[in-house]
Structure 1
Amino acid sequence: MKKIMLLLCLIVVETYSQVGGESIYNFLNLTGSARQASLGGNTLTLLDDVNQPLWNPSIINSELDNQISINYLNYLADVNLTSATFAHLINRNLGTIQGGITYLSYGKFIEADENGVETGIFKAYDLSVSVGYSYPISKTDFFIGANIKIINSVIGNFTSFGVGTDIGLLYYNEFKPYVFTLVARNIGYQVTVFDETREKLPLDISFGASYKLENVPITWHITFDNLQQWDIAVANPSNSKTDINGNVTDEQISFFDNTIRHFTLGAELFSEGAFNLRVGYDFRRAKELQLIDKRTFSGFTAGFGLKMNKFKFNYAFSKYHPASNANTFSLQINLN
């Protein structure tokens, strides 16, 4: 157990720091799970969602056996994400494996030469295929899991391939109302590059927890992400101030303002019932997409789940900006 904790700590300390916009394959940080999206988009402790191992392989368990999920995200600017996942129990000794595929289409673009003469149409897309496995640590309530991802990104005639892995450590006891997890996501290497520059994968080290209230049918979820890089806030030029002499003062980001951007909060009502209601809030998205002197509700998410025999339908609404929102749909089927 000490060796496992040491390994995860070394990953936190020694791996390069990076956030969105500074790496390749950033589509790996988009969720296709409507349930996860409705809880803020970063939840890591959904033990009964077959989509969750794409983000946290340590939650793979026998209860996911023969469950399949098909997901569709109507993202921004006609960008669409489609994903599918499946889990299968090999046997009681070997445990369960989970596989998934994620496809992000950017649509079609007009191709032109340096003189602006149109020469045709080209496509751009990202693709990831993964396989994951989790193992219970003997005589403890801890589980460790990992998955391997093969990644392909295409822009017209340019192609890039990469490999990645996620490593997760989970604490779960069925008699306890809380769950804790530590996950290092997107550790990997860009094997073939688009041009001459090799880029880094979007590493994200996160801590997640959930707590189920005893007398109220509510489960709280919280995620503290980007632990590998503390300073993730960037001053917004729109919030700069100019005095009477024309001197410009940039926005000053406080310690609290930077800290709160690491948090995502979600709540699920009737989590074990046939009908669920969910809300979430991504503090970083809210801060980065806010408008001056106007309430936009950016960062707010909501959704519901409806279970019908072997089928479960989930929907999520994600608020980004007054000009655009995102809708996520998931259909989960129990084949047993």
Structure 2
Amino acid sequence: MRNILFVLLISVLSGSAVAQDGSEVFNFLRIPNSTRANALGGNTVSLVERDPSLIFHNPALLGAEMDGMINLNYMNYISDINVGSALFTKAFKERSAWGVGASFFSNGNMKETTDQNQIIGDFSAKDISVTGFFSHDLNERWRGGLSLKFLYSSIADYTSIGLCVDAGLSYYNSEKDFSAGIALKNIGAQLKPYDNKRQKMPWDIQAGISKKMAHAPIRLSLTAMYLNRWKFDYVDDSDSEYKGDNFFQAFAKHLVIGVDYIPSENFWLGIGFNPKTCMDMKLRDGGGALSGFSAGAGVKIKMFDVGVSLAKYNPSALSLMLSLSMTLEDFKN
């Protein structure tokens, strides 16, 4: 019984941003690992920038232009729940690139109790992903990418191991300032379950487009998520008045909208809106204002690209993400 309670608890904590039920495992894979993606609603598969962290969202966004780059990200998710990632990317021959990265999701310490609600100690819970990336330019406008993720999760004395793959395509037309992308994410399996019952992976199909205005430094991005399903399970069984999403609600939950202002290569501002997060985090008493909205900014300071973003993934807290990117070649000059 205790291990089942642990699994249910961690599923709720790590899946709060996406309001999934306990049938999926490794839900931390849905958490953004990029300040830019976080600022633009939490997901993007089409944004073409010299930002290595974007390859966590679509491996086809990796390219030789990211040769010798290091990226670090940290987010204080909720309370003492912390998220972080580190990444290194390298060009390979003329038309390819590879990368290696790791990310973690730490739930901190929690109280361990008996069935009679007696506190008998503390336990911790954490998730770790180690990822290898590879991309190849198919032609001047199309690029394909793959990533292989080794997953490890621990909840008190219980552990789980998984393996999954992301596959993506990216299209970029520099003349029209237009880009598009599609990614099949988290295709794999839980190799070692917490107990005897295996859970589903949080696999997803995402597609998106980004278009910069012809006469203004403003870019619009639209990302479609959860293309492998239509409607979503509702997590509050105590709400007897809820009869399910109507067509508009179900449609809106698949979309993420982002707008960024990019007056130069050294500065950007971005805002985003995630309707699913907004609706999932809405409280019946009217609370949860600004849930689903996000914003961020980035600036280049000498050899460093610094980014910061804010998003509300929980009705009671803001999540702050910080990022730092650098190119090793810059330190040799």
Q: TM-score range by the shorter chain?
A: 0.7 to 0.9
Which residue of structure 2 aligns with residue 244 of structure 1? Answer: none
Which residue of structure 1 aligns with residue 280 of structure 2? Answer: 288
Shift of 1:199: 0.9
Contact 1:19 1:203 in 2 (8 A): no
Which residue of structure 2 aligns with residue 326 of structure 1? Answer: 319
The letter of the residue matching 1:225 is: M
Which residue of structure 2 aligns with residue 245 of structure 1? Answer: none
State which of 80, 83, 88 in structure 1 corresponds to 2:82: 80
The yes-or-no answer on 1:161 pairing with 2:161 is yes
Contact 1:233 1:261 in 2 (8 A): no
Which residue of structure 1 aligns with residue 257 of structure 2? Answer: 265
Residues of 2 paired with 1:235 and 1:117: CA distance?
27
What is the 5 A alignment of 1:62-211? 62-92=64-94, 95-114=96-115, 118-138=119-139, 141-211=141-211
What stretches of structure 1 of length at least 5 have no aligned partner? 1-17, 242-249
Shift of 1:144: 1.4
Shift of 1:327: 0.6
CA distance change for structure 1 residues 251 and 111 in 2, over 3 Å: closer, same or farther?
Answer: closer
Residues of 2 paired with 1:32 and 1:127: CA distance?
13
Contact 2:24 2:202 in 1 (8 A): yes
Shift of 1:280: 0.2
The yes-or-no answer on 1:223 pairing with 2:223 is yes
The yes-or-no answer on 1:275 pairing with 2:267 is yes
Residues of 2 paired with 1:163 and 1:86: CA distance?
21
Shift of 1:113: 4.6
Which structure is larger by alpha-carbon Rg, 1 or 2?
Answer: 1
Provide the aligned length of Structure 1 versus Structure 2: 309
Residues of 1 paired with 2:56 and 2:192: CA distance?
23
Shift of 1:160: 0.6
Contact 1:235 1:252 in 2 (8 A): no
Over the matched positions of the two proteins, sequence identity in percent amounts to 30
State which of 229, 250, 255 in structure 1 corresponds to 2:247: 255
CA distance change for structure 1 residues 124 and 277 in 2, over 3 Å: closer, same or farther?
Answer: same
Shift of 1:206: 0.7
Q: Which moved more, 1:198-207 or 1:40-49?
A: 40-49
RMSD over aligned CA atoms reads: 2.2
Which residue of structure 1 aligns with residue 291 of structure 2? Answer: 298
Could you give the per-residue CA deviations for residues 25-58 of structure 1, whole angstroms, max 9, x where no partner exists?
0000101211110110011223221011112011
Could you give the per-residue CA deviations for residues 61-110 of structure 1, whole angstroms, max 9, x where no partner exists?
111111111111100232100111110113325x2101110011111123
CA distance change for structure 1 residues 177 and 101 in 2, over 3 Å: closer, same or farther?
Answer: same
Shift of 1:181: 0.9
Residues of 1 paired with 2:310 and 2:223: CA distance?
19
Residues of 1 paired with 2:151 and 2:70: CA distance?
21
Shift of 1:305: 0.7
Residues of 2 paired with 1:235 and 1:32: CA distance?
25
Paired residue secondary structure (2:79): helix
Paired residue secondary structure (2:125): strand
Contact 1:239 1:292 in 2 (8 A): no
CA distance change for structure 1 residues 135 and 109 in 2, over 3 Å: closer, same or farther?
Answer: same
State which of 283, 288, 303 in structure 2 corresponds to 1:310: 303
Which residue of structure 2 aligns with residue 44 of structure 1? Answer: 45
State which of 56, 59, 64 in structure 2 corresponds to 1:57: 59
The letter of the residue matching 2:194 is: F
The letter of the residue matching 1:297 is: L
Shift of 1:228: 0.3
CA distance change for structure 1 residues 44 and 309 in 2, over 3 Å: closer, same or farther?
Answer: same
